[in-house]
Every structure is written in structure tokens, then in C-alpha cells.
Amino acid sequence: MNEDRSDHDWLRVKRLGLEKPVRRRADYHRIVAENSLSVRETVVHFPLKNPTDAYILELHRRLFQGVHPWAGRFRIPTDPHTIVAGYPGADALRIGRELALLRRQFDEFLSSMIVPGMTYLALAFWHLRFERIHPFIDGNGRAGRFLLEAQLNAMKQPEFRRSLVSPEKFPYMEALKIGSRSHDLGPLARLIAEVNHDDRMIEEMPSPFRLAPFFDLTAESLEAELEKSRRE
């Protein structure tokens, strides 16, 4: 995944901290591209349907080792605050709980299976929610797409599929925007099905759970938050 970075974005990434060998933008892309080869092997040979924190952290570490000194670490309170498509990411203190809630919601979504293409709709929900949580200060998009590949592989979907950013990134970014703004999972679900060589019709579907992170730090339990997310 050779994703170019704008000058403004590159300045932001430099301020986040880079390893000494990364002096230019080209160094960043070269090392990440090299790391991506081994990460792709990992998601093929060790896939996981509903990625755990440990799996997410290890994938990020492998993807950005040699690039960021903090590779494989979730955001902490002293890190810069994150904005995702105009929306705030999860509070750093809540990232673990947000991901745990996401796994619970994903399992519940999959178990319902009431419309064609439900698997793709559930995967679209997982991906959108993960990106809205934004657990890392950099690399959430790349890590999120590799996690999606791991999920598809774990569900025995075709191994040879197009990348979510091929041949161009625009359809993927548009699907993310629509999902974030309108909570419609359909566009991203259809894109996942398309790159997976599945041409079934997938209708529009609002997310059954909220996509935005929670900000109430006093919630007593995951069960309370799960029930709260169903009502909203």
C-alpha cells in the first residue's frame, strides 16, 4: 500500500516522532512498503475474525517498526489529540474499552444475519468504528485495512482480492465519509464485497450501533455501554 502523504501531513507525521533512518518522506514509504510484505503474510497465515488488542498492537508494531519509535502502542493522554474526518477520536484512556465494546458489538451484529451480505455489513461496521476510535497517533488507515484482510481471511473469503485502495483511493475514502456522516454501512460493505469478487446486491443499512466513541468515563460496565449503543 503505497499511500502518498501531502506536505502538510508529512510535517505532522515528523512531529510525532520518527526513527533516525527516516529522514525523508521516501524513507517512510520505503520502510512501510517493506514491512507491509511481512504483515500481509501474517494476515494470510494467522488471520483473526475479531481482532484482539494484542493482535492489533502486534500488527501495528510490525507495520511501523523502523519508522516510529512508538510503533505498536495505543495513544496515551500526552499524545496529540486526533481528529478523524472532522470528528474526534476516542479519548486515549478509553481506547481499550472502546475496542472491547467493538468486539462485543461485532459478534452481536454477525449473529443476527438477517439480510444478504450481512458479513460485509458487519465488517464495514467494524472498520468504520475502528477508524473512528483511531487507537494510534499514526497509521490507523493502513493498520485498519490489514486488519480487514485478516478478518476476510479468517472468514474463508477468497485469498486473492484487490486492495481496498486499488486502483485508486477515492472510492474507499468516499465510503468512509458516507459511513461516518450518515451511519450508512452500505457503501463500504459494497466496496468490501467488490474487492472480494462478490457481486451480490447489498442494500443501504444504518449502523445498528453508534460509530462515534463514547466520552462518558463513568459508565459502569461494557454491558451498560452495549445497551446504551443499541438505544442510540
Q: What is the pTM of this model?
A: 0.86
Residue reference for cell 452500505: 186
pLDDT at 73 over 90: yes
* pLDDT of res. 2: 41
**Do the Cβ atoms of 130 and 209 come closer than 8 Å?**
no
Least confident of 80-84, 91-95, 107-111, 170-174: 80-84
**Tens of pLDDT along 180-189?**
888 999 999 9
Average pLDDT over residues 22-39: 93
Rounded CA separation 79/176 (Å) = 24
Buried/exposed code over 106-128 (b: 16+ C-beta within 10 A; e: otherwise):
beebbeeeeeebbbbbbbbbbbb
Q: Which of 183, 176, 177, 217 is nearest to 91 (CA)?
A: 217
pLDDT band at 121 (very low <50, low <70, confident <90, very high): very high
